[in-house]
Amino acid sequence: MSNNNRVFYAIQALGFAPHDQLCPLDPSGEHVGSGTHPSGFVVAHGVQSVGINTTFNLEQVFELGQLELYENIEGIPDIELTAQKVLDGYPLLYHLATPKATSATLVGRSNERCFGALNIYPDTFDNASGTPLQSVGMSGMYVSALTYTLNVDGNSTEDTTLVGNNKQWVASGLTHFAPSVFDGSDEPLSLTYSGGVARRENILMGSGCSMAADGTITGVSGSIWPIEIAGIDSSGWNLPSGDAYAAHLQTVTISTDLGREELFELGRRGPYHRFVSFPTEVTCAIDITTSEGDLINALADPSGGTNLANQKIFIWVEEGTRINLGAKNKLSSVTYGGGDAGGGNATTSFNYSNFNSLKVTHEQDPAGLST
């Protein structure tokens, strides 16, 4: 019986390994028997929270002749792993979960599976090191949803959801989990060159970047924003204006739900693949403190037949994350509000969307897809 009284942040560690480093495999590609723990774990840094949700799918069968249940059939379980980390110079969760991706695009990372593991250590330990009390391993996990949030108040974060069908708790831990990653001296990898965990000052505005019609980026510094936002110039740059930037950007949230669907076949209980339901929508919400209003015209019969034009969005975070939403983002809604009699400031929220275009790169990507 465990002597732990609780589990708290200092005694948990989350790690990922490539799916194909587990052994042995049966002919259908499933991991069987003992010895299924992977090697080559990479431990995630900067993790703020982690959660695991398990759903046992039950299907009821009744029959003529009796009221009582005939059989309560147990389907395959659904495992959902959710985690949040700060942007800190270390590899993104998205990249740790897709370490052998063929390209940085959504489709290039879509078929990647990984082994995720959470180690829990004694509650008398200062750090997540040594032999854990328990480990939970989740094999065949696919990335299902992503959210990147760049805050004016607080830290910039990544939220990732993975889904799969296999989860197993193991006493004494997964033997190949790195035992000495956390020793009390861990700190952001970006501390020496960009000030550590990304905050509002670490979102690079500047200038020098340009985007071609196919979304290819050239140049060496700066983000590209929709030019229909007041203050953004014709190149998509948010340039200084006096002691501030021309557009007062507050919060940016990029999200996509990949909507994984299972493929089954006769003779096999579990799915043989979980595919992304392309086309999939990618959204980008940009909140600003407005000085004049949203300045977006919306006419039933506009000149030229359209109110909108495609917009380019590319965001550069100083610690190494780059988020490219391509050149075909359109404004789906805009909201003006605030500035009430209680003394608040007026704000505008611009909500953009595209389909299938999301390329997230990082200098520490284990797949080497840093551009």
Among the listed residues 241, 209, 239, the one whose alpha carbon sits nearest the alpha carbon of residue 222? 209
Q: What integer pLDDT is reported at residue 32 of this predicted model?
A: 41
Instruction: Give the Cα separation of 235 and 251 in Å (integer).
Output: 21
pLDDT confidence tier of residue 118, bands split at 50, 70 and 90 = very high
Tell me: pLDDT of 31 over 50.
no
Tokens, residue 170: 């193991």
| Assessment of whether the complete model's pTM goes beyond 0.75 | yes
Tell me: pLDDT of 178 over 80.
no
Mean pLDDT (the chain, rounded):
89
Question: Using the 8-state DSSP alphabet, how is residue 192 labeled?
Answer: H
Q: What integer pLDDT is reported at residue 176 of this predicted model?
A: 55
% of the chain with per-residue pLDDT over 90: 67
In this prediction, residues 131-138 reach a mean pLDDT of 88
Tell me: pLDDT of 322 over 80.
yes
Question: Using the 8-state DSSP alphabet, how is residue 329 labeled?
Answer: B
**pLDDT tens per residue across span 61-108:** 999 999 999 999 999 999 999 999 999 999 999 999 999 998 999 999
Tokens, residue 40: 């080559």
Residue 96's H or E segment, with its range, is: helix 93-96
Tell me: pLDDT of 24 over 80.
no
Beta-bridge partner residues of 136: 118, 169
Beta-bridge partner residues of 58: 74
Instruction: Give the Cα separation of 50 and 96 in Å (integer).
Output: 15
Q: What integer pLDDT is reported at residue 88 of this predicted model?
A: 96
**pLDDT tens per residue across span 290-299:** 888 888 899 9
Q: What integer pLDDT is reported at residue 323 of this predicted model?
A: 97
Rounded to an integer, what is the distance from CA 153 to the centroid of its chain? 20
Tokens, residue 263: 């493929």
Q: What integer pLDDT is reported at residue 21 of this predicted model?
A: 66
Q: What integer pLDDT is reported at residue 46 of this predicted model?
A: 96
**pLDDT tens per residue across span 213-234:** 888 888 777 899 999 999 999 9
Tell me: pLDDT of 177 over 80.
no
Q: Where are the domains of the chain?
A: 9-146+154-171, 191-361
Beta-bridge partner residues of 171: 134
pLDDT confidence tier of residue 28, bands split at 50, 70 and 90 = very low
Fold annotation for 9-146+154-171: Pnp Oxidase; Chain A (2.30.110)
371 vs 254, more confident: 254
Q: What integer pLDDT is reported at residue 37 of this predicted model?
A: 54
